[in-house]
Chains A and B, each alone.
Chain A
C-alpha cells in the first residue's frame, strides 16, 4: 500500500491545532463533568426519593441516548437559544460535560457506597457532622477507589470528543475528515488521528497511574 507521508506533513499544522483543541475540550469537559457528576451522584443518593428522582432521570437520559444526538441537539437547538447563534466549541464542551457527568455520577455513587458503613458511624460518633464526615472520612477513601473507573471515563471522553466533528468543531477528527475530503484518501488521515488519540490517552493513563501510586497507603 502506498502511504503518502508528504500529505500528512502538509496537514501537520492542522493536526496540531486540532490536537490542541481536542485537549482543551477534554480538559474542560473532564473538569466540568467531574464537578457536575459529583453533585448529581450525591443528589441521586439522597434519602428523599422524590428529591433524588430528577438526578436519577438525568443519568438515565444522558447515559441512555447517543452522544452524537446530544451534540446535535445542543448545537442546533440549545446553544442558539442561549447565544443567538450556533457555536461549535461551546456546544461540544457543553455536550461532553453533561454526558460525562452522567457516567461520573455513577462512579462517585459506587465509590462512596463501597465505603463501609462503620466509617460513617465512627466519624459521627467522634462528633463530626454528616457533611464533615463525608468530606474528611468518606470521600478521601472513596476517591482512591474511583480513580480506575474515572480514568476509564476520561479516556472514553477524549475519544468521544471526536464526535464533535459532526458540528464542524475544528478538533482533531475534523481535520482528519477534512484531509480525507481533500485528497480522497482514507488511511493517511485516519491512522494519523488514531495515533494522536493513542498518544493522548496513553499520557492520561500515565498521569493517572502516578496519582494512584501517590495515594497508595500500603
Chain B
C-alpha cells in the first residue's frame, strides 16, 4: 500500500514537472544577460517551402533564412532559425516561446489581429496551375470545378472568395506538393498557389504538360512579413534593419541568388511607407 502511494506521488510529481515545463518560455535560456555579447534570437519556420525555406540535409536554408539572418545582423542580433512546422509556428509566436517567425507568411488583416508583422519584405500573388488542355481561362472559371490548395494559405482564401467558404469542391492539402499530385491524379481541375511555387513547378516539370495563368483582378498582390508576438519590441528594430538590407543591395543579391530574377523593389518599397 505504502509503495503504491509513493509511486503515485512520483508519477504525479513527474506529470506536474512536465506540465510546468510546457508553460515556461524556451527563449529565456538563450537570452544573454551580459549585454556585451549579442543576444541570440530564436526564429521559427516551416522548412518545407523551397526556395523560401527548406531542409538541405538537415540544415534549414533558403531565401527567407538568408534574409532574416542579414536583417538580424543589421539589427545587432545573432539569429538561430529552427524548423518547427507550419502549425507550431503560430503556436510558438502566440505563446511567445519564439522571438519571431519567417516562413513566407502573408500579412493579412485577420492575422494582424493576433500577431504583429514587420514591414513587407516580399511581393507575391497567387496563380492557377492547370493542364495545358484545360478550358479554364480565368479565376471565375474555377466555379463548379474541383480545386486543390494548400490548407490555410491565401490561395485557399482567394478560391473561397470565388466558390464559397468550405465548398465541397475545394480540397485542402497539407502542402502544395500533395495538391499538385492530386491535379496529376485527376482528382482536381486546378491548383491555386503562390506564383513562385507554380512557376517553379511548371519550369522544372515539363513532362507534366502543365501551364499557369495569372488573374490580377481575382488575385491581389500579397506581401510577406516577419511575424512577431503581439507587442514585441523587436518589430521597430527589424523594420529599420529591413530598410537597411534593401537599400544597401543585400536584398537584391539574395533575391538573385534564390530566384534568379530581379525583385520588384518599387512595389515593395511603396508598400513599406
Contacts and interface: CB of A to CB of B under 8 A. Distances in A.
A177 interface: yes
Interface string B171-191: 111100010011011110000
B151 A181 contact: yes
Contacts of B172: 168, 174, 177-178, 181
Nearest to B183: A86
Interface in A159-195: 165-168, 170, 174, 177-178, 180-186
Nearest to A75: B185
B91 interface: yes
Nearest to B156: A181
B34 interface: no
Contacts of A168: 148, 171-173, 178, 182
B182 A186 contact: no
A84 interface: yes
A182 B156 CA distance: 9
A186 B85 CA distance: 13
A17 to B, nearest CB: 9
How would you classify the secondary structure of chain A's contact residues: helix, strand, loop or mixed? helix
A185 B110 CA distance: 12
A122 B21 CA distance: 62
Contact of A76 (B152, B153, B171, B181): B181
B186 A84 contact: yes
B90 interface: yes
B264 to A, nearest CB: 27
A181 B187 contact: no
A184 B182 contact: no
B6 to A, nearest CB: 30
A158 interface: no
Contacts of A183: 110
Interface residues of B, number: 25
Nearest to B182: A86
B114 interface: yes
A184 B114 contact: yes
A183 B184 CA distance: 29
A29 interface: no
Contacts of B111: 184
A9 to B, nearest CB: 15
A183 B108 CA distance: 11
A84 B185 CA distance: 8
A76 B174 CA distance: 15
B87 interface: yes
A14 interface: yes
Given A76-B181, A170-B168, A186-B87, A178 B151 contact: yes
Nearest to B160: A182
B166 A14 contact: yes
A85 interface: yes
Nearest to B152: A181
Contacts of B186: 80, 84-86
5 contacts: A84-B186, A180-B87, A182-B152, A184-B110, A186-B90
Interface of B: 87-88, 90-91, 110-111, 114, 148, 151-153, 156, 166, 168, 171-174, 178, 181-182, 184-187
Given A85-B187, A181-B156, 15 more contacts: A79-B185, A86-B187, A88-B187, A166-B178, A168-B171, A168-B172, A168-B173, A168-B178, A174-B172, A177-B172, A177-B174, A183-B110, A184-B111, A184-B114, A186-B88
